[in-house]
Amino acid sequence: MNFVVIGGDAAGMSAASRAKRKQSEMKVIVLEKSQDVSYSACGMPYNIADPGRDIEELVVRRADVFREKQGIDLLTGHLVESILPAEQQVVGTTAEGTPFSFPYDKLLIASGASSVKPNVPGIDLPGVMALKSLADGRRIKQFIKENQTRRVVVVGMGYIALEMSEAFRALGLEVSMLKPNPNLLPWLERSCAEVVQEELTSCSVELMFGQSLKAVEAYEGGLRAVCNDTTIETDMVLVAMGVQPSSGIARAAGLELSVGDSIAVNKNLQTSDDHIYAAGDCADAVHVVTGAKAWVPLALRANRAGWAVADNVCGKEKELPGIVGTAVFKVFDLEVARTGLNMQEAADAGFEPAGVTIKTRSKAHAHPGNTTICVHMVGDVASGRLLGVQMVGKEGVAHRINAPAVALHTQMTVEAFGESDLAYAPPFGPTWDPLLTAANQLIKKL
């Protein structure tokens, strides 16, 4: 069997490695457009923040290891330009301009996602960056090192934008962030979002709401970011407006698309063509809470989906459970986490949502070093079901969010979750865990 994989990062290499382990005689070909495979993209902001660290440390496994130790035919610098489903063939061009084609019995599209960039003048000027690939990370790190970079304009205020703002401040750079909308993190409950906003401003990050990037201009001293009603002189512009699924070849091949132009897959990760699978940031998933299709591009799902594809290709049927959208990120000294739905998402999904927000201590009342944890919890009035949780705090947030994530997977009610036997010790939380306190308050509303 010829198993061809498009894309050599999380989902792609997970699938290729597992398929080769299960059936060593299988011909596994991975076509990766860049020169990099299997690296920790999520670690790039933290690596960039430390000029003494080599960005190559983020590579989990090098290409030659996959080739020599696992017997995978890993071809870097191979850009797949089209899929021919009728012929069961992929065609493309190498980095040197040589055309290629490969037949497949089973195909996995693991093309990931690409950065969203505004179509404005000057967006391709030197010094205008995005951060998605390891090559992007190298360019940013090299640019800062080789230029007298003092100021950065960050376009966007999402996960990557916030993480990179912290990285730039760690390097001593001035940071201004732009966003056309008036609210920071609009999916986050307002009082929780205000905590994040206060943290950013206290760390000297300039937040400029109501400002869109209209153009980037070069001048003798660097760049100018032209916005609605102001122009900012800067040395670098980082475009961090989010990502979109890289699904163009799937669309061109006639495959069915889904939410946000992600590739539609069933629980076995098959596309609308039985011979073609899709996994990772290019593919959709089922949201456990709503039962509807969703697109949430996160690392764990990509790796897990790659494994499931390999199992199915090797003849062991594997259905992948859905997601609940669990995510966590760091903003200076804050941990910000979410799982499930917020109030608006719950209402849009047809629930009758009620929510509470509580602020409590991170440790027992007499234990030194207490900080505040903000918890927002959402439940359904009609069924009593837990629908979602958001948390912000300086400690005790990142791993605490996993408890409600599991509760969402099992469709627990708020009352049942409030009866959970959660761990307690004074250095780690009050007797009544912040999550239990929130649940008890929400039960009153339900």
β partners of residue 217:
224
- Distance, in Å, from the CA atom of 128 to the CA atom of 123, rounded to the nearest integer, reads 6
CA dihedral 31, 60, 297, 327 (to 10 degrees): 180
> What is the residue type of 107?
L
pLDDT tens digits, one per residue of 78-134: 999 999 999 999 999 999 999 999 999 999 999 999 999 999 999 999 999 999 999
- Distance, in Å, from the CA atom of 283 to the CA atom of 10, rounded to the nearest integer, reads 13
Provide the CATH number for the domain formed by 117-239 in this structure: 3.50.50.60
> What is the residue type of 100?
F
Q: Tell me the whole-structure pTM to 2 decimals.
A: 0.95
Whose CA is closest to 312, among 278, 264, 272, 286?
278
- pLDDT for the residue numbered 220: 86
pLDDT tens digits, one per residue of 47-60: 999 999 999 999 99
DSSP secondary-structure letter at 257? B
Tokens coding 71:
């017997």
- Spell out where 40-156 has E strands: 73-76, 78-84, 89-94, 99-103, 106-109, 113-115, 128-130, 151-155
- Distance, in Å, from the CA atom of 4 to the CA atom of 276, rounded to the nearest integer, reads 10
CA dihedral 184, 186, 192, 197 (to 10 degrees): 0
- Distance, in Å, from the CA atom of 335 to the CA atom of 324, rounded to the nearest integer, reads 19
Confidence of residue 366 (pLDDT cuts 50, 70, 90): confident
Locate the domains of the chain by residue range.
2-36+60-114+244-313, 117-239, 327-445
Confidence of residue 136 (pLDDT cuts 50, 70, 90): very high
- Distance, in Å, from the CA atom of 432 to the CA atom of 422, rounded to the nearest integer, reads 9
DSSP secondary-structure letter at 283? B
Return mean pLDDT, the chain.
96
Positions marked active-site: 42
Tokens coding 186:
């609009």
Tokens coding 403:
């408890």
Whose CA is closest to 113, among 298, 270, 239, 288?
298
Rounded average pLDDT over 382-406: 97
> In the chain, what percentage of residues exceed pLDDT 90?
96
- pLDDT for the residue numbered 261: 98
CB-facing half-sphere around the CA of 31: CA atoms within 13 A:
28
Tokens coding 435:
């999550």
If DSSP codes are grouped into helix, strand and coil, which group holds residue 103?
strand
CB-facing half-sphere around the CA of 432: CA atoms within 13 A:
11
CB-facing half-sphere around the CA of 265: CA atoms within 13 A:
33
Residue 68: count other Cβ atoms within 10 Å of its Cβ: 10
- Distance, in Å, from the CA atom of 115 to the CA atom of 110, rounded to the nearest integer, reads 16
Does 327-445 match 2-36+60-114+244-313 at the fold level?
Answer: yes
Fold classification of 327-445 (topology level): FAD/NAD(P)-binding domain (3.50.50)
- pLDDT for the residue numbered 141: 96
- Distance, in Å, from the CA atom of 92 to the CA atom of 80, rounded to the nearest integer, reads 4
Whose CA is closest to 43, among 199, 164, 149?
164
Of the two residues 411 and 220, the one the predictor is more confident about is 411
* Cβ partners under 8 Å of residue 369, min gap 6: 363
pLDDT tens digits, one per residue of 188-244: 999 999 999 999 999 999 999 999 999 999 988 899 999 998 999 999 999 999 999
DSSP secondary-structure letter at 320? P
> What is the residue type of 340?
G
Provide the CATH number for the domain formed by 2-36+60-114+244-313 in this structure: 3.50.50.60
> What is the residue type of 274?
D
- pLDDT for the residue numbered 48: 97
pLDDT tens digits, one per residue of 279-325: 999 999 999 999 999 999 989 999 999 999 999 999 999 999 999 99
CA distances from 240 to 118, 130, 137, 267 (A): 10, 6, 13, 31
Cα angle, residue 341 at apex, residues 409 and 240 outer, rounded to 5°: 115
Is 234 in contact with 150 (CB distance < 8 Å)?
no
Whose CA is closest to 390, among 209, 181, 164, 196?
196
pLDDT tens digits, one per residue of 144-190: 999 989 999 999 999 999 999 999 999 999 999 999 999 999 999 99
